[in-house]
Structure 1
Amino acid sequence: MLRYVLALAAAMTLTACATRADRAGDSAVQPQLVLVTTADWNATQGRLQRYLFEGGQWLAVGAPVEVSIGRNGAAWGRGLRAAPNDGGPLKREGDGRAPAGLFAIGTAFGYGETAQTALPYAPMSASHYCIDVPDSPLYDRIVDARTVGSEAVKGSTEPMRRDLHADGDPRYRLGFVIAHNPAHIPGAGSCIFAHLRRTQGEPTAGCTAMDDAAMDELLAWLRPQARPLFALLPQAQYRAVWKDWGLPEPAAGE
């Protein structure tokens, strides 16, 4: 199990790199996993549990927290493992579903100049957008209109400063990239994040949302040198793939 987990982590490519000091300690760092499970494909709520791989097994860290996912549930996404051919829905742009699967965790982002996290952090400005236009050459990338030009972000519905563009919306005040669709395949789904939620139980357009306290704790815990993983799976699919994917053994009732 340990060999599998370390090999999987070493094979990942993240959006941003760790610092030299982070890389120097790679061999001694225990892999981290953020696991979200839901009742079924159409559930809009889930449970998030953190895990640390130690002593040859995944150990739960902290208490589980409630999260919200896509307004239409989940669908198989494009990540580190191929989706099983089990007849489940496939993630598409605009479908209102969160991608299911196993993914790398990328850069953290937010409204402030800094954040309490060891992850690479990118402060967002009024000119930052995530491009959700499938025929754009910048599809599924966060860009700065000051660099790429105003025409390049035309049509995007994902301004990263939602407080400035969407009546004070706080949801992107803190978050991080979930590396779904790393090849940026047009129409396969874009701009997948973990971010804050405005109210308990409010579903998302396809991201994973949580309250402020849960996000603060999660960002403070994540370490880039651990090459952390993010998994989201309905319970039946979790039971089907956990062993092959090297995930924690499901608890009774999951």
Structure 2
Amino acid sequence: MKHQYVAFDIETAKILPDDNSDLHDHRPLGISCAALWATDSDEAELFYSKDGDDNPAAKMTGFDLSQLVDLLLDRQKSGYTLLTHNGLGFDFDILAEESGRIADCKKIARRHVDMMFHIFCGKGFGVGLNAAAQAIGQSKPEGMDGSRAPLLWKQGAHQKVLDYVAQDCRLTLDVAEKSARRNSFQWITQRGKKASFYLPSGWLTVEEAMDLPLPDTSWMDNPWSRSKLSGWLDNEG
């Protein structure tokens, strides 16, 4: 069955110190903007709050984020499959905190397809979106990544950040659809080689991926447990 996907991505608002620390150590992070891009759409839907002068606000309000959660729930009810790359371990965890809609974000997260989590459950390690995009002849814009977005947003380069979050959705959608057609997810390794992961049943939702057998990670020095990405689903709140 061919899925009608809606790719989802957020950009955070807090400017972080350049110390390579874990993003989660600096929460709350705030959300500057978000995007959705559906399989049957030619462009992204963009979301951000506005200040009193009708300009993009420093971060999205709880009210606007709650409306975004309602929209995501509605898309799932309408038959779309929500799609992210690391949405379980990041986007929906942050959205739950910032919107206050914790139970609803957990529900959305469990039922959506997180490509990185699926690969992580099968291989024991994650693969970045850019490595997957390169395998299909695409890539993120040079010199731009999510760590730069908060400063650019604060400096007023709103359109550049909005273009970036939209492109991440487009790349996620392209990777997901091409992988599903060939029943194989591919990526470019750090050594410049193409690697692949078989998808016999296509992409799995987070709930389905959790049922995959644990991979052999004995060769890794410090392998992550699945709870590093999914643990917030079990937290009370």
Q: Fold conserved (TM > 0.5)? A: no
Q: Which has the higher strand share?
A: 1
Q: Structure 1 length as normaliser, TM-score? A: 0.25
The structure with the greater share of residues assigned to helix is: 2
